[in-house]
Structure 1
Amino acid sequence: MKALFTNYFKTFRGLSNEVWWLALITFINRSGTMVIPFLTIYLNEDLSFSFPQIGWIMSCFGLGSVIGTWLGGKLTDEIGYYKVMVRSLLSTGILFIALQFLTTFTQVCLGIFLVMVVADTFRPAMFVAMSVYSKPENKTRSVTLIRLAINLGFSAGPAIGGLIIANLGYSGLFWVDGITCILATILLIKVLNPRVAKAIDDEKNEQPESAYKDKPYWIFFIAMFLFAVIFMQYFSTMPLFYRNIHALSEVEIGVLLGLNGFMIFLLEMPLIHWLDSAKYNKIGLTAIGLFLTVLSFFVLNLTAYSSILIVSILFMTIGEMIGFPYSNAFAMDRSKKGKKGQYLAMYLMAFSLANVFGHNGGLQLIDKIGYNNTWYVMCVLGGLGVILLYVLKRMLINEDKLNKSY
């Protein structure tokens, strides 16, 4: 047992202090976003919105995310990651607290849109900061540490959120969301000020290329969009499936979703450390992750027993642990061709666009064709994504051969 713990902690060695601080800030921030997994239930049960209405609200959620991510990448390249992160976190905290007072359909659409525009300017800035503070050989593990912080927060967040709902109602969630964002801002100002923090990767490109002219990167973007569309179902249609089909309570839903974050906390860093040492291809691993996520939807149609929900979560979690760190690491590697903010913003925009179409599309589908057929649709989309990643892998091999010939 001692050897097991020793080997586990060895996987964290070599990461910079700044990356550890960034992980802590991310954990505090993510712990407070406990309202997100319960948002569709809140809109349906507390505000009495229909599924199609919730679908449009979630599209506003995604559209705000798209604009915020694009704006975050642009501002990061122009004014720097630090200013963007501070202003985004502080403003998001205030807006989360205000969101609970919106009750009409129009108000909620506009409020969710504004919150996401402000909140998601943080993401490109955070990943650029992580890239700057990471040694080149540690970037995949740095991504994994940040994801570990996100998922540890996500593990605690839904479980605590379910208890808060049971005792204080949904209003308590909005207050906690806002306060944790403000606390994360204070910590960020104290520990990650560029005048104090030490940059490690200062690589500059004197003739940066536009990410929007990078054809292989567009293939990657489309594949990640499809990956994100099916993954996003776990934050919109899946909680409704748990509630309406399997009759789970908010606490049970929180615990089930929290299992995902807890497993990632325990297993992702050792898994990535092992995969890094084996030198597997990043795009190939991303494809494996997507395939396992597809399986998480396929198994739901095999039986009506609620125990299958655990099997589904296990497949999704392993797929996420493999697919997202390596896709993110590929985006950071590719960003050396051009402006880092633009490349990383484009990667994140795949997820933001999935928020626009994935939640709404999933909700419209379950309303029209039911849950089982919706899961089959997700399998088809994921299969297309796997094919695109295979095509991209071949393109990159040919690109490498061409570069070596010069």
Structure 2
Amino acid sequence: MLRTGLRSYINNFKGFRREVWILALITFINRAGTMVLPFLSKYLKENLHFTYGEVGWIMVAFGLGSMLGSWLGGKLTDKIGFYKIMIFSLFTSGILFFILQYITSFWGLCAGMFAIMTIADMFRPAMFVSLSVYAKPENRVRALTLVRLAVNLGFAAGPTLGGLIILGMGYQGLFWVDGSSCIIAILIFALTVKEKKRIPLAIGEKPAIIKPKSVYRDGPFWLLLFIIFIIAMVFFQIFTTLPLYHNEKFGLTEFQTGMLLSLNGLLVFLLEMPIVSRIEREKINKIKMISYGAWCLALGYYILLLDSWAVILVISIVLLTLAEIFAFPFSNAVALNRAPKGQEGQYMGLYTMSFSLAHIACSKTGLDIIAHFGYQTNWVVMGTLGMLAAICCIWLNRMLIAEKRIAA
């Protein structure tokens, strides 16, 4: 039984081109190397002695740079190609990480964080477009899932490695390792993957006649962005308000909270690819899957209202993980499939911007609600936002059905 289950799990990873595996590898190296980020606020507060307010503004500059980089990366990907953008982004951001350790002034760090995130996050829309080129059409959702697994594994490994480097080399070591990982990752990509511009067509699919259209007039796409912004903003509470709640309400240590968050990563690793493969084989509506994710998200926060039982923390993490598995890979695929040929970069740039904006809004919104009204009110608000996203999915599905009728 165990051997059959293992074989079935491994089969979900078959059928990818070599380039897709290399993209997953460099994503893992890059994300594992991004170990400065979990310790950034601690570094700014304890080593450089900034106030909480100053740390907050530096993190705002970080988020704004991420948004600009996502938009710029999308635009430039359509103009000069994903391959050049990926190489420029990772190589240059690697050099900038080396330089960042020598900047210690408040305004210098605001400018430095804005610049480095602008260049670093140009990589994301370009990488998504590269998957539309290197992955077979029938494997694109699974390819996106594979890269997401690489991101999750990288984020899981990064903080542990970062802590060891701080102990052995100090914070300066983080900047050297982070910059080096960016450069090593993109050198592997440049040496092993050749630039390819033609997007492969599915069997029986005819080459499309390119009809440029303004992404800013694509109503269904903007509704999708709104849905994803809400889902991401609510989901990211798992990294901001939930750890505080674990400690203040249930007295959990950092280690115990870390174990709960590790459960999220473990479940994603074990379940996401099999679930996505099954849904792809059965051709289930992707918008419906995003709506399931939104409902799981709502339940994951509503259940925290039953705060007399510590087991709800585990149930909540499981529900939030299911929300992540259902919502993120399929929304990614819908956004990529929505883009006309030659405009994939613009669409994926705006898609990744919605996550950057969600990061900015996440902690400020949740912490302000908790400060004024308490945790229970925050869980009600977050659960209700999850329900709003699910209702918007129904609206989006109807818009797409109507669009198909008009096209027919």
TM-score when normalising by structure 1? 0.89
Partner of 1:200: 200
Structure 1 residue aligned with 2:382, among 375, 378, 392? 378
Inter-CA distance 58–245: structure 2 relative to 1 (3 Å threshold): farther
Partner of 1:16: 17
Partner of 1:180: 181
Partner of 1:91: 92
Amino acid at match of 1:345: G
Partner of 2:121: 120
Distance 1:205 1:240 in 2: 53
> Unpaired runs of 5+ in structure 2?
none
Distance 1:371 1:219 in 2: 29
Of the structure 1 ranges 44-53 and 105-114, higher mean CA displacement relative to structure 2 is found in 44-53
Cα distance, 1:167 vs. partner? 5.7
Inter-CA distance 60–19: structure 2 relative to 1 (3 Å threshold): same
Partner of 1:353: 357
Amino acid at match of 2:319: F
Residue 391, structure 1, aligned to residue 382, structure 2: no
Q: How does 1:85-234 map to 2 (within 5 A)?
A: 85-165=86-166, 170-194=171-195, 200-201=200-201, 205-234=209-238
> Unpaired runs of 5+ in structure 1?
none
Distance 2:308 2:64 in 1: 35
CA displacement 1:341-375 (0-9 Å, x = unmatched): 11111211111222332233334444444444333
Distance 1:371 1:98 in 2: 40
SS in 2 for 1:313: helix
Whether the aligned pair in 1 keeps the contact of 2:211 and 2:340 (CA below 8 Å) is no
Distance 2:166 2:376 in 1: 29
SS in 2 for 1:193: coil
Partner of 2:3: 2
Inter-CA distance 355–267: structure 2 relative to 1 (3 Å threshold): same
Identity %: 47
Inter-CA distance 28–94: structure 2 relative to 1 (3 Å threshold): same
Cα distance, 1:152 vs. partner? 1.6
Cα distance, 1:115 vs. partner? 1.9
Cα distance, 1:36 vs. partner? 2.9
Inter-CA distance 400–290: structure 2 relative to 1 (3 Å threshold): same
Structure 2 residue aligned with 1:312, among 312, 316, 336? 316
Whether the aligned pair in 1 keeps the contact of 2:210 and 2:340 (CA below 8 Å) is no
CA displacement 1:142-184 (0-9 Å, x = unmatched): 1111111111212222343344456655444333322211211
Inter-CA distance 48–249: structure 2 relative to 1 (3 Å threshold): farther
Inter-CA distance 316–353: structure 2 relative to 1 (3 Å threshold): same
Inter-CA distance 302–60: structure 2 relative to 1 (3 Å threshold): farther
Of the structure 1 ranges 198-207 and 115-124, higher mean CA displacement relative to structure 2 is found in 198-207
Cα distance, 1:246 vs. partner? 5.5
Inter-CA distance 401–67: structure 2 relative to 1 (3 Å threshold): same
Of the structure 1 ranges 118-127 and 234-243, higher mean CA displacement relative to structure 2 is found in 234-243
Distance 1:238 1:49 in 2: 25
Distance 1:307 1:175 in 2: 41
Partner of 1:327: 331
Partner of 2:344: 340
Cα distance, 1:43 vs. partner? 4.6
TM-score when normalising by structure 2? 0.88
Whether the aligned pair in 1 keeps the contact of 2:63 and 2:359 (CA below 8 Å) is yes
CA displacement 1:14-66 (0-9 Å, x = unmatched): 21111111111111111112333444455555556565554433322221111
Cα distance, 1:322 vs. partner? 1.1
Distance 2:6 2:392 in 1: 39
Whether the aligned pair in 2 keeps the contact of 1:52 and 1:363 (CA below 8 Å) is no
Distance 2:38 2:321 in 1: 16
Distance 2:159 2:407 in 1: 48
Partner of 1:260: 264
Whether the aligned pair in 2 keeps the contact of 1:32 and 1:180 (CA below 8 Å) is yes
Distance 2:314 2:36 in 1: 22
Distance 2:26 2:234 in 1: 28
Partner of 1:59: 60
Partner of 2:296: 292
Cα distance, 1:381 vs. partner? 2.3
